[in-house]
């Protein structure tokens, strides 16, 4: 069987190594990845379960062999990814895409395995709307301000009822599931030539939203649901945590965007704590920049901070999700400017400035996730420009600027990798082969290939923009992917991501 993921984890270790079987069904672990000891084995191949052996002993010098046997899975529904559930459930495309809102906090298996009827689901939908973005089943957090919604009043009640009726139609409230389950094909060819390493974090509540690697090879991550950032040493698996000062007691905790400045100090968007934290790696001290008072209200939500080009003019950018605005901080004077791209928008039109990326001149480019816009704030004049993506309602979510000032971003609802050339003002889009992948972020590597991850399919996509070829690597277990990072210091490049719902850091090493 080709494309079976085989994972090995040494007894007492926090590190799991995974390889993939080739077209002949053979697999092998490099000797430098596994030292001597006893290892637990597991597999991932939808429709199949491990029949044995479950462990293997690796001697000090000689190689070890384990001929793995599989059996048909008794219940394939326990193995489906979120993307497979969306593809399987009956409904319109709009109904199916609405499920992408749910995977921010939990799996769709929680919905389809429930027995709630429509009336009960109305209450569930209302309650879910009261939770902050950082919530997971292990640690829900109430938001203290009403979230921004496209509809209110009677329209909102009607929308909640319609959503509840859809959810009740795809769960088990009327009996066992009556629709057929659609599964994705196993990896083939190039997608099998990979080694994946997963590092467990100390607590299951840790949500590693962003994972980035410094020049010494240490991995830093933001914790989406707790008031700290972490540092992982991949050589040992050791994790060190640093507490971020709390600015608003009783408000939801956790940070989102994590970035390096030119000196490799870390900058964190503090979400509902309404500010930006700078962490000096030498002193291990935090400096806090709070949102301006007039925009530091109940709905304030600062997700991103972008200090990468602050050396150009001594300024850095943030967005304020609660107001759909952008702030610029002057490090020397402390002055804060505010830009409102959608202040003259149409009544009832929703906008969500999700990410900001600076170009080489420290102009701020941003995404409008609630709609289909890429925008720019000119650093010198403050002029605001907007462009619409070729795919309508694409929901551009998060992205990164490359060395040629091309903005690469994930089209969450468009299911595309998008690129906007800021010089020619032209777009290009590449469709992800797997439906409902919902790419969150995009990074370009030193070879000109673009990488993204899926919040729903447990797959990493690697795009060659010249040929349009996309390789999709399957990960060993359910992986809620947000920020993606490519380490260009290795050959081939190394891909890193946090498993936001799995309390782990994932390293993917392609073999070509």
pLDDT in tens, the chain (512 residues): 999 999 999 999 999 999 999 999 999 999 999 999 999 999 999 999 999 999 999 999 889 999 999 999 999 999 999 999 999 999 999 999 999 999 999 999 999 999 999 999 999 999 999 999 999 999 999 998 766 544 456 888 999 999 999 999 999 999 999 999 999 999 999 999 999 999 999 999 999 999 999 999 999 999 999 999 999 999 999 999 999 999 999 999 999 999 999 999 999 999 999 999 999 999 999 999 999 999 999 999 999 999 999 999 999 999 999 999 999 999 999 999 999 999 988 877 889 999 999 999 999 999 999 999 999 999 999 999 999 999 999 999 999 999 999 999 999 999 999 999 999 999 999 999 999 999 999 999 999 999 999 999 999 999 999 999 999 999 999 999 999 999 999 999 999 999 999 999 999 999 99
Rounded Cα gap, residues 89 and 177, in angstroms: 9
Tokens of residue 20, six digits: 């993939």
DSSP state of 172: S
Please give the Cα distance from 288 to 273 (Å, whole number): 10
DSSP-derived secondary structure letter, 78:
G
- Residue 260: how many other CB atoms lie within 10 Å: 17
Quickly list DSSP for 175-214. Answer: SS--SPPP-PPPP-GGGGSEEEEEEE-S-TT--EEEEEE-
**Cβ atoms < 10 Å from Cβ of 390:** 15
The β-bridge relationship of strands 258-260 and 504-510 is: unpaired
Beta bridge partners, 278, equal 267, 287
What sections of 79-205 are H helices per DSSP?
A: 82-88, 93-98, 109-112, 118-128, 153-170
| 503 Cβ neighbours under 8 A, 6+ residues apart | 200, 201, 203, 204, 205, 206, 207, 208
pTM over the 0.85 mark: yes
Please, how many CA atoms are within 13 Å of residue 370, restricted to the half-sphere of its CB?
16
Question: What span, in angstroms and rounded, lies between the C-alpha atoms of 383 and 368?
Answer: 17
């Amino acid at each position: 069987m080709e494309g079976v993921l085989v994972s090995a984890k040494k007894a007492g270790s926090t590190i799991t190594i995974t390889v993939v079987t080739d077209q002949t069904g053979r697999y092998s672990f490099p000797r430098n990845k596994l030292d001597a000891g006893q290892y637990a084995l597991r597999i991932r191949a939808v429709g199949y379960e491990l029949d044995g052996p479950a462990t293997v002993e690796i001697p000090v010098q000689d190689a070890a062999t384990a001929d793995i046997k599989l059996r048909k899975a008794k219940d394939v529904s326990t193995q489906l990814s979120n993307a497979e559930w969306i593809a399987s459930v009956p409904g319109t495309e709009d109904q199916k895409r609405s499920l992408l809102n749910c995977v921010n906090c939990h799996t769709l298996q929680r919905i389809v395995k429930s027995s709630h009827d429509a009336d009960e689901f109305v209450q569930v939908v209302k309650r879910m709307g009261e939770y902050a973005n950082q919530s997971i089943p292990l640690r829900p957090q109430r938001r203290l301000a009403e979230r921004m919604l496209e509809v209110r009043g009677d329209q909102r009640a009607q929308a909640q009822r319609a959503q509840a009726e859809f959810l009740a139609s795809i769960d088990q409230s009327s009996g066992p599931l009556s629709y057929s389950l659609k599964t994705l094909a196993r990896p083939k060819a190039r997608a099998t030539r990979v080694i994946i390493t997963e590092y467990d974090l100390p607590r299951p509540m840790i949500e590693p939203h962003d994972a980035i690697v410094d020049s010494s090879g240490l991995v830093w991550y933001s914790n989406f649901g707790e008031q700290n950032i972490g540092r992982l040493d991949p050589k040992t698996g050791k994790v060190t945590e640093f507490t971020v000062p709390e600015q608003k007691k009783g408000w939801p905790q956790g940070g989102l965007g994590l970035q390096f400045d030119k000196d490799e100090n870390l900058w964190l968007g503090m979400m509902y704590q309404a500010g930006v934290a700078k962490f000096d790696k030498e002193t291990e001290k935090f400096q806090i920049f709070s949102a301006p008072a007039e925009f530091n209200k109940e709905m304030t939500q600062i997700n991103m901070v972008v200090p990468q080009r602050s050396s150009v003019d001594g300024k850095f950018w943030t967005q304020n999700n609660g107001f759909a605005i952008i702030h610029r901080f002057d490090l020397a004077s402390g002055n804060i400017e505010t830009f409102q791209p959608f202040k003259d928008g149409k009544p009832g039109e929703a906008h969500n400035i999700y990410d900001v990326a600076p170009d080489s001149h420290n102009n701020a480019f941003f995404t409008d996730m609630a709609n289909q816009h890429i925008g720019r704030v000119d650093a010198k004049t403050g002029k605001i420009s907007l462009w619409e993506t070729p795919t309508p309602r694409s929901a551009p979510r998060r992205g990164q600027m490359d060395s040629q000032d091309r903005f690469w971003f994930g089209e969450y609802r468009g299911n595309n990798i998008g690129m906007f050339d800021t010089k020619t003002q032209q777009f290009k889009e590449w469709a992800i082969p797997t439906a409902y992948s919902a790419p969150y972020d995009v990074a370009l590597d030193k070879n000109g290939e673009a990488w993204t991850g899926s919040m729903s399919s447990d797959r990493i996509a690697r795009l060659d923009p010249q040929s349009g070829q996309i390789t999709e690597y399957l990960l060993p277990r359910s992986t809620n992917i947000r920020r993606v990072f490519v380490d260009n210091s290795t050959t081939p490049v190394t891909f890193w991501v946090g498993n936001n719902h799995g309390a782990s850091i994932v390293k993917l090493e392609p073999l070509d």
